[in-house]
Amino acid sequence: MPEVDQIVAARLRPLGQRLTPRRRSLLEILRSARHPLTIHEILERGRGLAMSSVYRNLTVLEQAGLVHRVITREDFARYELAEELTEHHHHLICSGCGLVRDMPTDVRVERVMRSVMAGMPADVFTPQSHRIDVMGMCPDCVQRRERATQAKGGG
Ligand SMILES: [Zn+2]
Ligand SMILES: [Zn+2]
**pLDDT computed for residue 134 by the predictor:** 93
Residues 6+ apart with CB under 8 A from 53: 22
Task: Look up the pTM and report it.
Answer: 0.80
* Domains, the chain, ordered by start: 1-87 (1.10.10.10), 89-155 (3.30.1490.190)
Give the distance (Å) from ligand 1 centre to CA of residue 69. Answer: 19
C-alpha angle 124-62-83 in degrees, rounded to nearest 5: 65
**pLDDT computed for residue 49 by the predictor:** 87
Give the distance (Å) from ligand 2 centre to CA of residue 114. Answer: 9
Cβ atoms of residues 79 and 36 within 8 Å:
yes
Cβ atoms of residues 30 and 69 within 8 Å:
no
The ligand minimizing its distance to the Cα of 94 is 1
**Averaged pLDDT, groups of 10, the chain, 155 residues long:** 84 95 94 90 90 94 95 79 92 90 92 95 94 93 92 70
